[in-house]
């Protein structure tokens, strides 16, 4: 089975071609980051317009790289949410036209589920059940993956996502968008114990996160220093902020692992590319006899390969969409 995957939920236009469940033939990603950097964040209308321009050339390149033609495609998987509505509609429309003209099934993929499935492409031996920590620009959640098509949402963020906090704090420090990789780099030069930022919900038994208070604490710290005329060590702020986010993510992941008794921990989403988070989770898993998985860096951030992989496993249980499919910008992760 050849699955064509399409991703256009935010600022990456991507098309991938997957053979069966885990053999990636191509994964072309056209990023708009340099365009949005000028504005300090993603401008939704510009994102939609760029997707319209990029989607066909990216499709063409993905087919060429896979050495296939459209006639070889057996099914189309597309991310239909969550994300920016105008951006999602470009991918959804392209997928519907392809499904209709090629007379092949259409599969509607939840982008967040896709992030988890990136791990199946990087680790051919990985199988459920496992505990997944999804940390992206829009979401932070712990999920119990019972099987390929059965999950349970254990907890998520009450407010900001971890990636969103990285991006906002980076902006406060005058660093360019996207902030995550910038903080990651700058934190290496700073002292993670220099500033004591608040750790929200650490004592709560719920597996929920909250990062908006942390963002406000960084704002207050910077304002106070400015009012007192003190100079700020940006590297220390970056390192202390990053350590706080990682402490919280680790604490809740440990709690979830204990509660569920699951023996495999899977990291997913754009923030999974954070070098320190990966190191600390790896260490924690080694100390506790748990297996640890995280995707290749290119599959951590948005890409169509993960969408194709998620779509393939949906197709195995006959989970297809019809041509009335629409974008769902606030699509959530739900128990299945
Ligand atoms: O999953 P993703 O590509 O898009 C969403 O679905 O949201 O995640 C993007 C997020 C951004 O907030 C970005 O700053 C963050 O992932 N990110 C990182 C790193 N690389 C990307 N955060 C921390 N450290 C990184 N190295
Ligand atoms: Zn994403």
Q: Which ligand is nearest to the CA of 187?
A: 1
Task: Report the nearest atom of ligand 1 relative to the CA of 162.
Answer: 12
- Give the model's pLDDT for residue 237: 97
CA of 118 to the centre of ligand 1 (A): 14
Q: Whole-model pTM above 0.85? A: yes
Main-chain phi, psi angles of 11, to 5 degrees = -115, 20
Query: In the structure encoding, which two tokens stand for residue 15, read together?
Result: 């098309």
Main-chain phi, psi angles of 162, to 5 degrees = -60, -45
CA of 164 to the centre of ligand 1 (A): 8
Task: Report the nearest atom of ligand 1 relative to the CA of 115.
Answer: 1
Q: Which ligand is nearest to the CA of 42?
A: 1
Handedness of CA 71, 74, 80, 83 (dihedral sign): negative
- C-alpha distance across the termini of the chain, in Å: 25
Token pair 């496992």 is found at 130
By alpha-carbon position, which residue is closest to atom 8 of ligand 1? Answer: 270
CA of 135 to the centre of ligand 1 (A): 8
By alpha-carbon position, which residue is closest to atom 23 of ligand 1? Answer: 180
Pocket of ligand 1 (CB under 6 A): 10, 115, 136-138, 163, 166-167, 178-181, 184, 269-271, 273-274, 301-302
By alpha-carbon position, which residue is closest to atom 13 of ligand 1? Answer: 180
Query: Residues 292, 281: contact at Cβ < 8 Å?
Result: yes
Q: Which of 112, 4, 7 is CA-nearest to residue 55?
A: 7
| Per-position pLDDT tens, the chain of length 336 | 999 999 999 999 999 999 999 999 999 999 998 999 889 889 999 999 999 999 999 999 999 999 999 999 999 999 999 999 999 999 999 999 999 999 999 999 999 999 999 999 999 999 999 999 999 998 999 999 999 999 999 999 999 999 999 999 999 999 998 999 999 999 999 999 999 999 988 888 889 999 999 999 999 999 999 999 999 999 999 999 999 999 999 999 999 999 999 999 999 999 999 999 999 999 999 999 999 999 999 999 999 999 999 999 999 999 999 999 999 999 998 888
């Amino acid at each position: 089975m050849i699955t064509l995957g399409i991703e256009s939920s935010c600022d990456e236009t991507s098309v991938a071609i997957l053979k069966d469940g885990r053999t990636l033939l191509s994964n072309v990603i056209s990023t708009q980051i340099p365009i949005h950097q000028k504005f300090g964040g993603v401008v939704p209308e510009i994102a939609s317009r760029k997707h319209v321009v990029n989607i066909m050339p990216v499709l063409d390149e993905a087919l060429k790289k896979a050495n296939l033609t459209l006639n070889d495609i057996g099914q189309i998987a597309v991310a239909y949410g969550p994300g920016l509505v105008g951006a999602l509609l470009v991918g959804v429309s392209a997928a519907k036209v392809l499904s209709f003209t090629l007379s092949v099934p259409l599969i509607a993929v939840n982008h967040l589920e896709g992030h988890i499935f990136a791990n199946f492409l990087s680790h051919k031996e990985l199988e459920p059940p496992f505990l997944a920590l999804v940390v992206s620009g829009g979401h932070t959640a712990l999920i119990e993956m019972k099987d390929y098509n059965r999950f349970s949402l254990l907890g998520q963020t009450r407010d900001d996502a971890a990636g969103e906090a990285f991006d906002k704090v980076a902006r406060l420090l005058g660093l360019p968008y996207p902030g995550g990789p910038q903080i990651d780099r700058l934190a290496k030069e700073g002292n993670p114990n220099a500033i004591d930022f608040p750790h929200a919900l650490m004592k709560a038994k719920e597996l929920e996160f909250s990062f908006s208070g942390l963002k406000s604490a960084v704002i207050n710290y910077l304002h106070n220093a400015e009012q007192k005329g003190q100079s700020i060590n940006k590297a220390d702020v970056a390192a202390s902020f990053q350590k706080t986010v990682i402490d919280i993510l680790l604490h809740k992941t440990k709690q979830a692992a204990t509660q569920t008794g699951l023996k495999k921990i899977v990291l997913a989403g754009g923030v999974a590319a954070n070098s320190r988070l990966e190191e600390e989770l790896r260490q924690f898993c080694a100390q506790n006899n748990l297996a640890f998985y995280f995707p290749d860096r290119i599959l951590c951030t948005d890409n169509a390969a993960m969408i194709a992989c998620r779509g393939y496993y949906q197709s195995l249980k006959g989970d297809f969409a019809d041509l009335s499919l629409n974008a769902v910008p606030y699509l959530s992760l739900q128990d299945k």
